[in-house]
Structure 1
């Protein structure tokens, strides 16, 4: 059975919206797209290569699927584990509007029964069922305790606006830090596994 892992770029203030470019996602008037670009370095590349090397399949939201579909088929460099994985491994798209995914191999999951569909996919796979980006889907998965591991790539920039990974009203969840590293540009890469509901006490008591 596969594990469901989430890999997300976030700012110091938790924003995950449009890291890759100015026009990636301007929803809600977001004007700061492309905030990750100045910090991309070799250390980040090494980590991403490791992550994609463990992939068995991908679970993506519709917006991320379409962004990837517009880029990766045209950048299918020999030996690139990211391009190779995304272009050839199974992709599962959580969407109620996408009917005919052109970038395959791809399967649209039934939005009415999404949780049971994801469990079915995990049971049939080995390795990792990986979620990249896909902000709304990531929040939906976290709210239902469906994520087995989170890779947070925290960039040394704060924006003050934008969609955040952990919105107000999310489940109070405790996590165990299982790995941590930093890159030359100042990025902190942290891997967490959920351990259950958060607990509360008084400091010093």
Structure 2
């Protein structure tokens, strides 16, 4: 069974919309496209190479597929590890509107009669191996989250706040506990964090029924005396 991993560039306030350029995604009047570009450096480049090297296949929504397919097939340098991997690896495209996909080793992933692709992705996870990685594809990611299909997140968290735009975790995401499996910092101040599923959220309370007594006991312990 495959592990489904979402990779994303993300602002401190959770925005993932249009990190790579002004015209990448203007939906909703978004005017901050390209916010990730100033933080690109050698460290980020190395991280991206490592990230793509570990993928077995790629899962994309229509918009991200069209952006990728218009760019990466034109990069034919055999010394470019990202282009070489992307152009060769299996790519699955979730779309209700495309009739065909022409990028090498790309395949249309059809949903059910209602256009729901979740069942098709669940089937893909069952019959595939290794890591299925999702890039961009905000609408697709929302569907995957609503059906509890995401196993891990690899987030490049960048030191910028935008206040508006599409967020990674939207309303309807199935609650899940996560654990921080790895973290790196780039020279430009980006945190590269890997979060993996850790079951369901647990809950508690900081309310103290006998608050004054508890405070007194904690103060005495702090002072090295016994209650």
Under a length normalisation based on structure 1, what TM-score does the superposition of the two structures give?
0.94
Instruction: Say yes or no: does 1:116 pair with 2:152.
Output: no
Name the structure 2 match of 1:195.
Answer: 198
Corresponding residue number in structure 2 for 1:16? 16
Runs of 4+ in 1 over 6 A off after TM superposition: none
SS at match of 1:107: strand
- For 1:128 and 1:173, the matched residues in 2 are separated by 20
Give the alignment's Cα RMSD to 1 decimal.
Answer: 1.5
Query: How far 1:34 sits from its partner (Å)?
Result: 0.2
- Report the counterpart of residue 90 of structure 2 in structure 1: 90
Q: Distance in 2 between the 1:127 and 1:30 partners? A: 35
**Contact 2:64–2:136 under 8 Å retained in 1:** yes
Q: Deviations over 1:42-97 (max 9, x none)?
A: 11111111111111111000000000011111123213221112111111001111
Tell me, in whole angstroms, the C-alpha distance in 1 between the residues paired with 2:120 and 2:71.
Answer: 27
Larger radius of gyration: 2
The alignment partner of 2:188 has SS state of: coil
Identify the range of structure 1 (73-82 vs 157-166) with the bigger mean alpha-carbon deviation. 73-82
Alignment of 1:116-155 (within 5 A): 116-155=119-158
Q: Which residue is equivalent to 1:158?
A: 161
Question: Structure 1 residues 171 and 121, CA, compared in 2 at 3 Å: closer, same or farther?
Answer: closer
The offset of 1:164, in angstroms, is 0.5
Deviates more, 1:72-81 or 1:51-60: 72-81
Higher strand share: 1
Most deviating of 181-190 and 70-79:
70-79
Name the SS of the counterpart of 1:196 in structure 2: coil
Q: Distance in 2 between matches of 1:140 and 1:151?
A: 18
Higher deviation after alignment, 48-57 or 79-88: 79-88
CA separation in 2, counterparts of 1:172 and 1:11? 21
Name the CA shift for 1:43/1:166 in 2 (closer, same or farther; >3 Å).
same
Aligned length: 205
Do 2:146 and 2:172's aligned partners in 1 also have CA atoms closer than 8 Å?
no
CA distance in 2, matches of 1:204, 1:47: 43
Partners of 1:161 and 1:178 in 2: CA distance: 29
Q: Does 1:44 align with 2:13?
A: no
Higher RCO (CA 8 Å, separation ≥ 6 residues): 1
Which position in structure 1 is the counterpart of 2:26?
A: 26
1:100-111 alignment runs, 5 A limit: 100-111=100-111
CA contact (8 A) 2:111 2:119 kept: no
2:81 is matched with which residue? 81
Structure 1 unaligned spans of 5+: none
